[in-house]
Amino acid sequence: AQTVTQSQPEMSVQEAETVTLSCTYDTSESNYYLFWYKQPPSRQMILVIRQEAYKQQNATENRFSVNFQKAAKSFSLKISDSQLGDTAMYFCAFSRAGGYQKVTFGTGTKLQVIP
């Protein structure tokens, strides 16, 4: 079974600053995907970024980037130039590659961007 751990229940950052959200995971799978999802108050889950485990290069999406450390089973999210619209719950998640996506989620980090 897979586990995903987010040890920061809440974080805050000043607008325009950079913040890093932490995530660790455990799995015996050799190939898998890691994700960061954003959940605003509307409840809809929005995919922020995806990392394929067999790729060494860290994924980036505009202001969002990850630091993927496969040996350490660590997957952190860096948000640069934080904006008020980034205020949300952020969930780290895992799914095995191949077949259907049974996604395992962490417990989330509540991020508040302060003007």
Partner 1 sequence: GAGVSQSPSNKVTEKGKDVELRCDPISGHTALYWYRQRLGQGLEFLIYFQGNSAPDKSGLPSDRFSAERTGESVSTLTIQRTQQEDSAVYLCASSLVQGQGWQPQHFGDGTRLSIL
List of residues contacting partner 1 (CB under 8 A): 4, 33, 42-47, 50, 52, 91, 93, 97, 99-108
| H or E stretch at 24 | strand 24-26
Least distance (Å) between residue 39 CB and partner 1: 9
Amino acid at 62: N
Least distance (Å) between residue 110 CB and partner 1: 9
**Cα–Cα distance for residue pair 19/99, rounded to 1 Å:** 34
Least distance (Å) between residue 93 CB and partner 1: 8
Nearer to partner 1, 5 or 14 (CB): 5
Least distance (Å) between residue 98 CB and partner 1: 8
Nearer to partner 1, 11 or 80 (CB): 11
What per-residue string of b and e applies to 72-100 under the rule 16 or more CB within 10 Å gives b? Answer: ebebbbebeebeeebbbbbbbbbbbeeee
Closest C-alpha among 38, 70, 42 to residue 57: 70
Nearer to partner 1, 41 or 115 (CB): 41
